[in-house]
Structure 1
């Protein structure tokens, strides 16, 4: 299983970075994970801004040469792992800019007659590891699970990815946030996951 990890946090001395390290450690100890690539969007200097004008059209994003490296990573991967914080009930703008540009028509999906498109990323699986300052039940109770609905239904299911797992950790700035236990949970998952 080829695994692509997309890390989106601007500080390497952070809990998010610790989660990234547990993903890497568990993956390297898992015989089912044969290859591993890490994409740190901040370190990469990824430009999240969409630009559309007379020379750059939205319908041509699927063949934009500046995004070819990232399209190749997604095509290559069997499993895509996202590590990011939840800010204002959703992933950070940097990650959303990546999604806006990479999960484009004629690469991630193809329009067809009917309500839903043809998802072109079928057969892949996704894991979302997210942290937040607020309580773990906040997205469910106050936001009607907006984060999970956004990521699973509006994005991944739309492009054909049906297998989506969430690790959504709350209270991460609290001394009682059980950070060590949650880090271990992520490590154990990646050490044993099959597909």
Structure 2
């Protein structure tokens, strides 16, 4: 990697937002592996573990963005300051009863949605925090892939959560990696294979940010420059 490419890589920043109550969960392993790969690529990453933070997901009446002058509470301001300048937002969570955990939904409402009015959503206004940035999601489920497909889970979640977030906040693009049959009985080989997928996605995302989509399409091997 040239000196110029290294400088570009170091300037990039990833926000990894983890939502799982078990500190030893596979979701946590996904977050840790992603962060390790980003650091190895010479890029910056900030991890936000919502349960460890005791994040309050409850949107208060005074915060509603439909109000003329909604209040922005201190915890939201502090969180947005931490996320400021990130190039990609990585959401990691289990699928519970067909949707993200309530805490993740509350994070989107309170932090991502702070100051975003219905007019902004309709016009797909590019906000100062998320505008033109990337969305990457990793989700796990105890159910099988065929069962999830039969229930319309993939298309449904993509439409009501991924696509909506991208459009509502004027983001650049979105990708979603799904891991099925994640239970206490998941074998080590399966877990290792999934974590290898996480590492490859992290390397690809680092390359997308560092070199741009067009350059990566011309030369897919650019992502290998970030592999260990």
TM-score bracket for this pair, using the shorter chain length: 0.7 to 0.9
Aligned position for 2:182: 172
Aligned match for 2:198, one of 178, 186, 189: 186
**Structure with the greater alpha carbon radius of gyration:** 2
- Measured after TM superposition, the shift of residue 19 of structure 1 is 0.9
Please tell me whether residue 48 in structure 1 is matched to residue 78 in structure 2: no
- Measured after TM superposition, the shift of residue 24 of structure 1 is 1.3
- Measured after TM superposition, the shift of residue 178 of structure 1 is 2.0
| Larger RCO, structure (CA 8 Å, separation 6 or more) | 1
Aligned position for 1:95: 104
Aligned match for 2:162, one of 139, 152, 157: 152
How much is the aligned-residue C-alpha RMSD, in angstroms? 2.3
Where do 5+ consecutive residues of structure 2 fail to align?
1-11, 210-228
Where do 5+ consecutive residues of structure 1 fail to align?
none
* Equivalenced residues, count: 188
Higher helix share goes to which structure? 2
Larger displacement relative to structure 2 (41-50 or 138-147): 138-147
- Measured after TM superposition, the shift of residue 162 of structure 1 is 3.0
Please tell me whether residue 79 in structure 1 is matched to residue 88 in structure 2: yes
Structure-1-length-normalised TM-score: 0.85
- Measured after TM superposition, the shift of residue 62 of structure 1 is 6.7
Larger displacement relative to structure 2 (2-11 or 97-106): 97-106
Change (3 A) 1:57 1:184: closer
CA deviations over 1:106-130 (Å, ceiling 9, x no partner): 35x6726x95442323221011011
Change (3 A) 1:127 1:58: same
Q: Distance in 2 between matches of 1:115 and 1:159?
A: 10
Change (3 A) 1:57 1:26: closer
Structure-2-length-normalised TM-score: 0.74
